[in-house]
Structure 1
Amino acid sequence: MSDGPSYGFDTLQIHAGARPDPATGARQTPIYQTTAYVFRDAEHAAALFNLQEVGYIYSRLTNPTVAVLQERIATLEGGVGAVCCSSGHAAQIMALFPLMQPGCNVVASTRLYGGTVTQFSQTIKRFGWSAKFVDFDDLDAVRDAIDDNTRAVFGESIANPGGYITDIRAIADVADAAGVPLIIDNTSATPYLCNPISLGATLVVHSTTKYLTGNGTVTGGCIVDSGQFDWSASDKFPSLSQPEPAYHGLKFAETFGPLAFTFHSIAIGLRDLGMTMNPQAAHYTLMGIETLSLRMERHVENAMTVATWLENDPRVDYVTYAGLESSPYSARIPAVCPKGAGALFTFAVKGGYEACVKLVDSLEIFSHVANLGDTRSLIIHSASTTHRQLTPEQQEAAGAAPNVVRVSIGIENAEDLIADLDQALAKATA
């Protein structure tokens, strides 16, 4: 799209980053299923490898189909650039990679997807990194957790699995005061419901597998760069502020300015970590994003209807959906996600662990899968699956207690979803 008027979200989700194919005039973005690209001449090749010219070298680094997706997500999130990769977990490592060194830590919310807790508490130790888990509702605790070795603060806009709403602006202020970037996982909210960059986030990560694609077909991840952090303000981020030996002493922050993080993630991150998104996955995600706003409106509408019914059912102990007036997080919706509280939440079943297992096994429309953000309604018992590696205390803190199930409400008829839950609850609590 050419520079011009400020287009609305519905227009941008279809057109941002996409142009008719110059060779054929194809209106839909083609799948450029190629590993390499022919250079014009030796001088052109050298300029590309020296980062003196932007272009395509090898599809581990850049690909025209993936490039359209990167521009589209960056536009919707209000960032200056984005880098797509192979999964949401890859996006988290890619986001931390330019920031961290052995001995450094990330301060992370206790309310995170169970796989993220495991990745941060266990796997990143192999890099010499560590994580401190803190209740993000306690701003003093977040401040106290940040030390001289902290290089990032990490949270989720709408936390998985409980659907808790993070006060992004308040956390951003704490991170800013400490001189470290705030990374927000916006997977559960999508840029349609929440814009973390406008609330002070430095980087936004996504599992594009979820709502952005929306049809449960491909895995993918993305990191969006706000372009608003000064990587040279301190000596904490030498990968971005100091000379890079692999590029003859080039300084990313000095050379690329607001796009320093984006270029580093491609030229170093994708080059050496190889967490590449394939072009067919990018194509599926581009098609999914074209209907993002329409789907999210229906997701939110259905979630509110189902959550309200569940809250009034005597077989249910409680419901965590932030859209309910009873939720302690409902007051944050206007500032953080004014178009709705998403479609991800948990509810506690009377009868505990065994009742939850019976419920999951008795449902007919809901699919029992380890995924969220699909057009289909999904359910999982987190304590026995996604969060089973955590301690009981960590499960409680994450909102994945043994008597709790997580639901991702789809876009089916709400009355059918309620009927399915009703018959399954009857069997589970008989």
Structure 2
Amino acid sequence: MTDTPQYGFDTLQVHAGSRPDPATGARQTPIYQTTAYVFRDAEHAAALFNLQEVGFIYSRLTNPTVAVLQERMATLEGGAGAVCCSSGHGAQIMALFPLMAPGCNVVVSTRLYGGTVTQFSHTIRRFGWSAKFVDFDDTDAVRDAIDDDTRAIFCESIANPGGYITDLDAISAIADNAGLPLIVDNTSATPYLCRPIEHGATLVVHSLTKFLTGNGTVTGGVVVDSGKFDWSASGKFPSLSEPEPAYHGLTFHETFGPLAFTFHGIAVGLRDLGMTLNPQAAHYTLLGIETLSLRMQKHVENAEKIASWLEKHDAVSAVTYAGLPSSPWHDRVARICPKGAGGLFTVTLKGGYDSCVKLVDSLELFSHVANLGDTRSLIIHSASTTHRQLTPEQQKAAGAAPDVVRISIGIEDADDLIRDLDQGLAKSAPAAAA
């Protein structure tokens, strides 16, 4: 497609990056299930390896099916480019990789997916990196956490598990003032509900596994680059602003400008870390994205109805959904997520831990799985599963206390889901268990 800014979201989610196959005329993007690509001649091969020409070399780096997905995601997020990889966790490492060095830190929100908390608390320390966890509603604390070794700020647009909405405008202002990139995990919102780059984000990461694919079939991740950050301004990002020995002294920012991060992600990140997205997974994700807006509208519609019903239930002490007028983050919905607060939230049960476990075991339509963003409605007790490795304090800060269940609302009939929750809550009440 050309001149893409004229098209609306619904059109772009179907067409962006996609063209009829030049060899066969196939309208759907083919699965290019190949490892390598034949070069025209020795000169062509040399130009590709020197990054003097864009093309396909080896599927660890580039693949035509994956390339369509990268262009589509960059377009939907309003970015300059994108790099796909094997999972959302892979995308987080890919995002940090060009920015960090031993001794550097990243300032991150306390409201994050439990696996991300673990990755940032423990795993990244093996690279010599560290993370400072801060309540992002306390903007003074965010500013105070930044020091000379800070290289990025990280948060989720709609946080998993609680559906908390981050004030991206306030956080991006802090990042800009500090000369740091803001990385936003937009998995729970998708670009249909929130476009973080429009709120000042430098990089946007996704677990493609969730709402974007939407059918629970494959894992994948992506990093979308806004193309707006000046990587050469401070000297803090030498991987992008200084000569790269592996490419005969090529300087990524000087050579590729707004696409510097994207080219580095492919030419160095995928080359050396090998977190490659396979073409079949890319194909499934492309199919899912074609119906993204339709699904997200239904997710939001169902979530609003079900959260309102749960809030009034006798067995429930709290519902965290930002779409509820009672939510302390309700005023951010219109500004950050104008099309709705998503399909993810938590429910606190008066019966505590035991009632949560009983509810999970009593539901029939809801699937008990460690996933979210499916067409099917999902439930999990985070404190005993996804957030199990965290301390009680970390669980509470992340919105995953022992008396809380996480619910990902699907696209089924809302009344059917309410009936299932009603019978499950009746069975999980303390009196029923006695």
Per the alignment, residue 22 of structure 1 pairs with 22
Residue matched to 1:189: 189
User: Between the two proteins, what is the percent identity of the paired residues?
Assistant: 82
Give the residue type in structure 1 aligned to 2:196: P
Residue 403 (structure 2) aligns with: 403
Question: Equivalents in 2 of 1:57, 1:335: separation in Å?
Answer: 43
Residue number in structure 1 paired with 2:69: 69
Please state how far the C-alpha of 1:350 moved relative to its aligned partner: 1.4
SS at match of 1:224: strand
Alpha-carbon distance in structure 2 between the residues aligned to 1:288 and 1:160:
21
TM-score under structure 2 length normalisation: 0.99
Query: How far 1:4 moved relative to its partner?
Result: 6.0
Aligned equivalent of 1:386: 386
Deviations 1:139-180 (A, max 9, x none): 000000000000000000000000000000100000110011
User: 1:5 Cα shift?
Assistant: 6.0
Tell me how far apart the structure 2 counterparts of residues 5 and 282 of structure 1 sit (CA, whole Å). Answer: 24
1:2, distance to aligned residue in structure 2 (A): 2.1
Shift of 1:358: 0.3
In structure 2, the residue matched to 1:330 is 330
Residue 348 of structure 1 deviates from its aligned partner by 0.5
Alignment match, 1:117 = 117
Give the counterpart letter for 1:141 in structure 2. A
SS at match of 1:416: helix
- Tell me the secondary structure at the aligned position of residue 52 of structure 1: coil
1:103-152 CA distances to partner (integer Å, 9 max, x unpaired)? Answer: 00000000000000000000000000000000000000000000000000
- Secondary structure at the counterpart of residue 6 of structure 2: coil
Cα separation, 1, equivalents of 2:301 and 2:337: 14
- Alignment correspondent of 2:216: 216
The equivalent of 1:422 in structure 2 is 422
What secondary structure does 2:257 align onto? helix
The one-letter amino acid of 2:225's match is D
CA gap of 1:4–1:380, structure 2 versus 1, over 3 A, is closer
**d(CA) in 2 for partners of 1:351 and 1:198?**
42
Give the equivalent residue in structure 2 for 1:281.
281
Q: Is 1:342 aligned to residue 318 of structure 2?
A: no
The CA distance in 1 between the partners of 2:137 and 2:343, in whole Å, is 21
Distance 1:222 1:146 in 2: 26
Residue 311 of structure 1 corresponds to 311
What is the aligned partner in structure 1 of residue 107 from structure 2? 107
Residue 154 (structure 2) pairs with residue 154 (structure 1) = yes
Matched residue type, 1:150: T
Hey, what's the Cα distance between the residues in 1 that align with 2:41 and 2:169? 49
Q: Which amino acid aligns with 1:180?
A: L
Alpha-carbon distance in structure 2 between the residues aligned to 1:333 and 1:348 = 22
Deviations 1:281-339 (A, max 9, x none): 00000000000000000000000000000000011010000000000000001110000
Say if 2:266 is the partner of 1:255: no
Q: Which residue of 1 aligns with 2:180?
A: 180
Shift of 1:69: 0.2
Alpha-carbon distance in structure 2 between the residues aligned to 1:198 and 1:308: 30
- Please tell me the residue identity of whatever aligns with 2:161: P
| CA separation of 1:5 and 1:135: change in aligned 2, threshold 3 A | closer
Q: Alpha-carbon deviations, 1:78-102, whole Å to 9, x = none? A: 0000000000000000000000000
CA RMSD of aligned residues (A): 0.5
Amino acid at match of 1:54: V
The aligned counterpart of 2:37 is 37
Measure the CA separation in 2 of the matches of 1:53 and 1:353. Answer: 58
CA distance in 2, matches of 1:276, 1:173: 33
Q: Provide the rounded CA distance (Å) in 1 between the counterparts of 2:295 and 2:282.
A: 19
Q: Which runs of 5+ in 1 are unaligned?
A: none
1:3 Cα deviation after fit: 2.5
Query: Secondary structure of the residue that 2:405 maps to in structure 1?
Result: strand
User: Aligned partners of 2:247 and 2:390: how far apart in 1?
Assistant: 42
**Residue matched to 1:299:** 299
What is the number of residues matched between the two proteins? 430
Q: For 2:150, give the aligned amino acid.
A: T
SS of 2:92 mapped into structure 1:
helix
Distance 2:331 2:395 in 1: 25
Which whole-Å CA distance do the structure 2 matches of 1:266 and 1:117 have between them?
26
**TM-score scaled by structure 1?**
1.00
Q: Which amino acid aligns with 1:9?
A: F
